[in-house]
Structure 1
Amino acid sequence: MSNRTASATSQTSFYGRLIGHRDGFGFVRPDAGGNDVFISPKEMLKAMHGDRVSARVVGTDRRGRPEAVILEVVEHANRNLVGRLVNERGILLVVPEDQRIKHDVIVAPIDTMGAEPGQVVSIEIVDPPTRYTPPVGRVVEVLGGVDDPGMEVEIAVRKFDVPHEFSDEAQALAKKLPDEVRPKDLKDRVDLRDVPFMTIDGEDARDFDDAVYAEPVAGKGWRLLVAIADVSHYVQSGDALDRDAYSRSTSVYFPRRVLPMLPEKLSNGLCSLNPHVDRLALVCDMVVTTAGEVRAYQFYDTVICSAQRLTYTRAWAAMCDPLSEDARHLGPLAQTLGHLEEVFRVLLAAREARGAIDFDSVETYMQFDANGRIEKIVPRVRNDAHRLIEECMLAANTCAADILKRAKRHGLYRVHEGPTPERLRALREFLKVQGLKLEGGDEPAPGDYARLAKEIRARPDSRLIQTLLLRSMQQAIYTPENVGHFGLSYEAYAHFTSPIRRYPDLLVHRVIKTIIHNKGHYLPPYGDTGLDDPMHRWRNIGDHCSGAERRADEASRDVEAWLKCQYMKSRIGEQLRGTVTGIAPFGLFITLDALYVEGMIHVSELGAEYFQHNEVLHELRGERTGRRFRLYDSLVVQVARVDLDARRIEFQLVPSMIRATRASRPAEREPDFYALPQEEESESEMPPWLAEALAAHPSSRKKPSKKNRDKKALAPAEKIHKEKRSKKSAKQKVKGSPAEKPKSGRSAKTARQPAGRAGSARKSRRGKGTR
């Protein structure tokens, strides 16, 4: 047992946050730190996911982890829930959309606001659950039918508690703001309206945080100006707009919809650096040498008038061909773009020289039809115009961090720490098997990672190795303690360039203004815990902003998963080629090559034998045939089932692939790919793809009622598949297959193919009654 675990479990009782799991059990994350403590499904009846509880350790679970009982709910987290109203034997219930909450909520007929069974509703919890009684609630909002356009976003913002409505006070304050820059706003500002700034952004961008300009200077270098929207001039610390912005902490981007951090009057209008209108800005004015170093910089308040709004596509076309129509359309601004490209080239060379890590990745975006359904998913092409803006923003962000550091002012840094000793040790063991080596000893530098990433680029298993290099590193966060940015190889880094959509950037602006105007230390009016310690308050604010960032990511992923499930409904029965992108004891995760959609093949679909999961080799291997399935194998699969409730897509191997796998992968062959043995994580900290996959295990398979089967009929492909599986199961019983007669002493990591899924002991809540 680790010291952290011991410290968390040696006390009689402790406080922590309850984290539910979709399979019914949960964990308490201790307030004092340490490992999560297991909570059984029976104990989970006393409280709900997110509640703050008092608990006591009473023993260990079957995996040897400390197990606790819940003594008391100290703070109820779920005052409001979103779910579907159902009628179960005359009783109205709301089944939460968040599958980490296993309590169905009883609603009295007079408290439904006229909602009909099957509709999506938002409810308020009136009576929380106890061990013996379910929670009681009342409907406060009827959202509509589950298939209504935009319902996926309405569910996600409530499911993940994303603020989505501005307060009346904030809206009233925004309405009072002017529509344009006033003469009195120009006081004590440097007038740069004659400088031909330009914005370069995506085709669908509406909020323009930044504008750039460059020109050569004496001494073989360039002057680079990065103008950032001066949001702090209009949003005052602690006012209604600021309170709402802090609550959101970030704009949330969904396909076809954006939840802005600020009201649209500011985000798309008064603060946005739109072309040909005066706008207030905070400028980072830099001198960049031919070696790509920022030799000097200064910050000052200014007013600008952007001369051109360019898209990445048009800017890239002009950069590629100075004689193109896009370049001619720019006129004199083509020269400015040329100077920006020159600065970009030297900054990029400096980035490579300092050893910043640059992994290859594929981003996708969705194209929709007139009905709001996905038409296709395509890769987003990243060109040098994207990189140009990125390098300019990185330069300004490092200057912002540097001025905070030099002035010794409290603020938020964007911190990315290097690998932990445990992850580093596991990574080195994996690389040793591969015949590779990560230099740097116990504390490798970013350059060591960068050199290895470059070395493996031509290898057939480069994607696997790159994935494991990424997994060895930690997540970037906001914190007042500057420990540098490992991935970018910066000693100090902060977010300064996006105050319209990120609250930490707005805070950095305010701190910089206190420095350049010789004012006292800035202390936000949030995060106060009663301690007379500014750093403690800044830490709380950093934690809040980091949490809001993760919350936004979760909500966005949930919406994308919903849309992809809808997209794949019409493709049930189709055969498509995909790549194995994840392996677990219970199956394979497949990403379709042409559609960029991920789904799962359950282990029971791989063949009539036991499959052993090897964590070191990252493979599933059949014990009888020796058939192997490994990361980044290419397979042909058939779309078998789509579960919109669980946001899950299921595949099955086509029969020809099952036969061919044995022939192409003999048991004696040494594997080409190996996988990094990861440190054990509690289920409460599982990555999203693994958490979703757990629901695919037979123990959590849904068993719908007759009415529900009529309502949600199985697709023809699945009906055929279930019939084949039933016949196969019957045949196995006659022959006494390995699936029926497991050998004694079998490894705990061996996966057993069930004879059929209909015998699952656990019934899904959505399969009851008339759901």
Structure 2
Amino acid sequence: MASRNKTSHSVKQVLTQLVLQVFENNGNQTYNYKQVSAKLNISDPESRETILEILKEEAEKQVLKEVSRGNFQLIELKTFVEGKVDLTADGSAFIVTDDEAETDIFVAPRKLRNALNGDRVKVYVYGKSRGKHKEGEVIEIIQRAKMEFSGIVKLSERFAFFIPDDRKMQHDIFIPISELNGAKNGIKAIAEITDWPKEAKNPIGRIKTILGKQGENNTEMNAILAEYGFPLSFPAEVEQEAEEISEEISEEEIQKRRDFRSITTFTIDPVDAKDFDDAISFRFLENGNYEIGVHIADVSHYVLPGTPLDHEAFERGTSVYLVDRVIPMLPERLSNGLCSLRPKEEKLCFSAVFEMDADAQIVTEWFGKTVIYSDRRFAYEDVQEIIENKEGDYVKEILLLNDLAYKLRDRKFKNGAISFETTEVKFKLDENGKPLGVYTKERKDAHKLIEDFMLLANRRVAEFIGKKGKGKSKLTFVYRSHDSPKEDNLLSFAQFALRFGYKINTNSDKEIARSLNHLMADVEGKKEQNVLTQLAIRSMAKAVYTTKKTSHYGLAFDFYTHFTSPIRRYPDVMVHRLLEHYLAKGKSVDVETYEKMSVHASQMEKKAADAERASVKYKQAEYLQNQIGTVFTGIISGVTEWGMYVEIEENKCEGMIRLRDITDDFYTLDEKNYAIIGQRKKKIYQLGDEVKIKVKSVDLTKKQIDFSLVQE
């Protein structure tokens, strides 16, 4: 009997969806149960009776309203919405819809229908709400976010389970013995979900790749890549295509290009860089001005649309920079060879060439294909030495470039750009990848010199295309766009900054920028620098790739794009192709196609940043593993209802003090004031406060560090 009821319940569920679809698909139409039955081609009395029952129930739920006796109408046309699953720690989820005006929809764990974090789903939204969020249930999984997970194999005699690393993946994967692929108990591997039967609690999968022993550097770095969906190697056909590209630059190709081979040209990169995207050329003009060429590797000459090489680069979207390795977007033959602007080699480039006066004003500009010959490969440290000591190779050119960069920078900040100097954490590693020490990277004039000329090229390329045509005749292009911050985010940051004595003027964009820059300058080198900078960045919107908006708030540019790094960013390849197309007087391309590609590029950029952050967290945990019991001074960098995050001042490692471990009082979160407050003694621990901590424990698998508070 029970099973019959269960069947009839699921039939009723399906019928409910069909009934509501009738209303959904027919606007404001009013129907009685007979009309709905006719629409669904249902004639048997029992089912028609059930439809009448459904209509009444949905009216009670306030999804339908009974406008006259027996006649029903949809209250809210938007009963079904699509969105992305954002899973919470307790197994429930919020569905983030595409409509920015729509609040997230709450879905209880039992109503998720096996949807996983990041999946695109269709949700049926109830009339009732849970607080400020509407409630709903998943009725269809449109697209899985990922089917592969890194994790640990747990073996028993007749079957195995796979425990994923991803904390938002709350189901272990059942692995039949036949699908173990040689994996042993306790080994770290990549598993792929192959099936998830309707009534099954756990998905079924197979072991796809064995990564190695837990805790080994190579295993853990590859696990991070797999967790964020980056492949560990290139497909054979992609490698083969790269190998088959000729190294030779034909005379015919050179004839099509502007020749810069005899003009002084050099690259400036990190000392350990292997790919050189960009070079700078410099020459003095007879009229007293300077010609500065920003030469970018001509990747689109080698990577052609529709090829396996292009498809793979698009899917990856970006190179990924983990603590100890780079996972390139393009095979090494291209990224470190053909496209890398190595010294003493002729190379094909796409260039932005500027004639500038002594005040760094642009007199003329030119964009096009070039051939160059780099005379010298500089590391940032070499150039910094030349700037400081005023001697060395190409000293005259470098000092002039530095002077022009200063003028470009000043102008940018006067126009309202914001200077965020974040601390970049680097590790000293031994030959096995074990961290021996942690240090922070300092950005000096040499870094900023290159950055300012890259910003100039990016901005002028975007303006060149963005200002062509108006309205419908506007040319489709890929911009790097950055929105202004939401007012409440900015106000809450301003209130927090005030506690440290920094005033943020929120009257206008320019005033916001000016006061933020004052704050960034004042805070430099102080213990609260990282906390305030990170919080300021969090209060800002995120920069994205899009065809829709051209402006960049943080840089105060009306037009901005990414043109200068096609070896490691796919949007730059798109920009090169579009620029070449429009320089040849091509018609505007399809905007929808390029918007979809831009959305994908933004998503991959976020995944790469998350993977990079995870590798830093892993190394920080590994570094502190040998420091259990050591006392450090730290800054409170975050507060939550279960604890406070503390960043150690000397090495920037971040861990958590759990509230349950602070025993002198009962502490609760004061969200508004970014603080933890003791209920009896009223002791306050606030974001930015300095505290003494002791390293309590380290969980490498979870990349978690726990501290205990050393109370005075």
TM-score range, shorter chain: 0.7 to 0.9
Paired amino acid for 1:633:
D
Match of 2:518 among 447, 454, 478: 454
1:355 pairs with one of 399, 409, 416: 416
| Equivalent residue runs for 1:727-746 within 5 Å | none
Residue 170 (structure 1) aligned with residue 238 (structure 2):
yes
Query: Does residue 391 of the first structure (1) align with residue 434 of the second (2)?
Result: no
User: Which residue pairs with 1:682 in the alignment?
Assistant: none
Report the Cα distance in structure 1 between the residues aligned to 2:434 and 2:465, rounded to whole angstroms: 47
How far apart are the structure 2 equivalents of 1:635 and 1:221?
A: 55
User: Per the alignment, in what secondary structure is the counterpart of residue 83 of structure 2?
Assistant: strand
| Alignment size in residue pairs | 631
Aligned residue type for 1:454 = H
Q: Relative to structure 1, is the Cα distance of residues 78 and 503 closer, same or farther in structure 2, using a 3 angstrom cutoff?
A: closer
Alignment partner, residue 347 of structure 2: 279
Where do 5+ consecutive residues of structure 1 fail to align?
1-5, 524-533, 661-771
CA 1:431–1:31: 2 relative to 1, 3 Å: closer
- 1:158 to partner: Cα distance: 1.5
Aligned partner of 1:123: which letter? A
1:19 to 86, 89, 95: 86
- 1:671-686 matched pairs, under 5 angstroms: none
CA distance in 2, matches of 1:426, 1:215: 49
Aligned position for 2:647: 591
**Which of 554, 559, 562 is equivalent to 2:618?**
562
Structure 2 distance, partners of 1:302, 1:243, is: 26
- Residue aligned with 2:239, SS: helix
**Partner Cα distance (1:566, 1:504) in 2:** 35
Kindly provide the amino acid, as one letter, of the partner of residue 272 in structure 1. Answer: S
Secondary structure (helix, strand or coil) at the match of 1:407 reads coil
Aligned CA-pair RMSD: 2.6
**Structure 1 equivalent of residue 363 of structure 2:** 295
Correspondences of 1:538-617 after superposition (within 5 Å): 538-617=594-673
Q: Is 1:154 the counterpart of 2:213 in the alignment? A: no
Q: How far off is 1:98 after superposition? A: 1.1
Corresponding residue for residue 563 of structure 2: 496
Deviations 1:187-234 (A, max 9, x none): 311221111100000011111011112234466542211111111111
Q: For structure 1, which segment, 478-487 or 6-15, has the greater mean C-alpha deviation from structure 2 after superposition?
A: 6-15
Query: 1:27-42 residue pairs with structure 2 within 5 A?
Result: 27-32=94-99, 34-42=102-110
Instruction: Pick one of 400, 405, 411 that aligns with 2:477.
Output: 411
Percent of aligned pairs with the same amino acid? 29
Q: Cα distance 1:355–1:314, how it changes in 2: closer, same or farther (>3 A)?
A: same
Contact map agreement 1:27 1:38 (CA 8 A) in 2: yes
> Where in structure 2 are the equivalents of 1:746-761 lying within 5 Å?
none
Separation of aligned partners in 1, 2:559 and 2:132: 41
For residue 479 of structure 1, the aligned residue among 535, 546, 552 is 546
- Within the candidate set 240, 257, 263, 2:331 is matched to 263
Partner SS for 1:645: coil
SS at structure 2 position matched to 1:370: coil
Change (3 A) 1:97 1:45: farther
In the other structure, the counterpart of 2:52 is none
Equivalent-residue separation in structure 2 for 1:629 and 1:154 (angstroms): 38
Q: Indicate how the Cα distance of structure 1 residues 379 and 90 shifts in structure 2: closer, same or farther if over 3 A, else same.
A: same
Q: 1:105 to 1:435 in 2, by over 3 A?
A: closer
1:445 and 2:509 aligned: yes
Cα distance, 1:101 vs structure 2: 1.0
In structure 2, do the counterparts of structure 1 residues 549 and 472 end up closer, same or farther at CA, with 3 Å as the change threshold? same
Q: Decide whether aligned partners of structure 1 residues 619 and 51 sit closer, same or farther in structure 2, where only a CA change above 3 A counts.
A: closer
Distance 1:456 1:500 in 2: 32
1:87 equivalent in structure 2: 155
SS of corresponding position for 2:111: helix
**Which of the numbers 106, 110, 118 marks the counterpart of 2:178?**
110
Deviations 1:697-733 (A, max 9, x none): xxxxxxxxxxxxxxxxxxxxxxxxxxxxxxxxxxxxx
Counterpart contact for 1:293–1:350, Cα < 8 Å: no
Partner of 2:32: none
| Cross-structure match for 1:511 | 578
Residue 282 of structure 1, CA deviation: 1.3
C-alpha spacing 1:578/1:10, structure 2 compared with 1 (3 Å): farther
In the other structure, the counterpart of 1:231 is 299
Bigger shift: residues 492-501 or 582-591: 582-591
The whole-number CA distance in structure 1 between the counterparts of 2:97 and 2:338 is: 45
Q: 2:496, 2:673 within 8 Å by CA — same for their partners in 1? A: no
Q: Is the 8 A contact 2:420 2:520 kept in 1?
A: no
Deviation of the 1:449 alpha carbon = 1.7
Note if contact 1:8-1:30 (Cα within 8 Å) is conserved in structure 2.
no
| Equivalent AA in structure 2 for residue 445 of structure 1 | D
**1:737-757 C-alpha deviation (Å, 9 max, x unpaired):** xxxxxxxxxxxxxxxxxxxxx
User: CA shift at 1:91, angstroms?
Assistant: 4.2
**Deviation at 1:399?**
1.2
User: 1:57: how far off?
Assistant: 2.8
Q: Is the 8 A contact 1:283 1:299 kept in 2?
A: yes
Q: 1:643 aligns with which of 683, 686, 699?
A: 699
Shift in CA distance, 591/437, structure 1 to aligned 2, threshold 3 Å: closer
TM-aligned CA deviation for residue 430 of structure 1: 5.6
**Which amino acid is the alignment partner of residue 334 of structure 1?**
V
Cα distance change, pair 46–282 in 1 and its aligned pair in 2 (3 A): closer
Q: Secondary structure at the match of 1:150?
A: helix
Where in structure 2 are there 5+ consecutive unaligned residues? Answer: 1-62, 64-73, 470-474
What are the Cα deviations for residues 669-717 of structure 1, in whole angstroms up to 9, with x where unaligned? xxxxxxxxxxxxxxxxxxxxxxxxxxxxxxxxxxxxxxxxxxxxxxxxx
